[in-house]
């Protein structure tokens, strides 16, 4: 169907202990905001239905899992992500600790 148009966007990040590894938010909520964050804007609604929504597919990939297993380490880490709905005009790429209480978790 030539009505469907998809845009692909890729973000690269990593969890570095003491820097960008803020954990899951429990029990250390004050460090959660240091996890990698990516601002995604959904600007266009789907034109194949009347729901007035925009479809977004999220995929996570862990790199170098084979090399880790060969070194005798656990291949994959437990990974969790959350999608937050922000205010329409959010301009900054990263939110800080005091801003998370204003967000609505829409996917956990």
Give per-residue pLDDT as tens, 49-75: 888 888 899 998 888 888 888 888 887
pLDDT at residue 108, as a whole number? 46
Q: Is 42 left (phi over 0), alpha (psi -120 to 50) or beta?
A: beta
pLDDT at residue 57, as a whole number? 92
Residues of the chain under the 50 pLDDT cut: 108
Is the distance from CB of 33 to CB of 23 less than 8 angstroms? no
pLDDT at residue 64, as a whole number? 82
pLDDT at residue 5, as a whole number? 74
Alpha helices (runs of H) in the chain, residue ranges in sequence order: 65-70
- Between CA 74 and CA 61 the distance in angstroms is 15
Strands (DSSP E) contained in 1-108 are 83-85, 104-107
Is the distance from CB of 58 to CB of 83 less than 8 angstroms? yes
């Amino acid at each position: 169907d030539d009505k469907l148009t998809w845009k692909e966007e890729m973000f690269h990040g990593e969890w570095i202990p003491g820097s960008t590894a803020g954990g899951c938010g429990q029990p250390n909520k004050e460090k959660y905001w240091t996890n990698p964050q990516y601002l995604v804007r959904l600007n266009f609604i789907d034109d194949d239905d009347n729901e007035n929504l925009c479809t977004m597919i999220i995929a996570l990939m862990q790199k170098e899992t084979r090399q880790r297993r060969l070194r005798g380490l656990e291949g994959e880490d437990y990974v969790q992500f959350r999608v937050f709905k922000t205010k329409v005009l959010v301009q900054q790429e990263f939110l800080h600790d005091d801003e998370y209480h204003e967000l609505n978790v829409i996917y956990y």
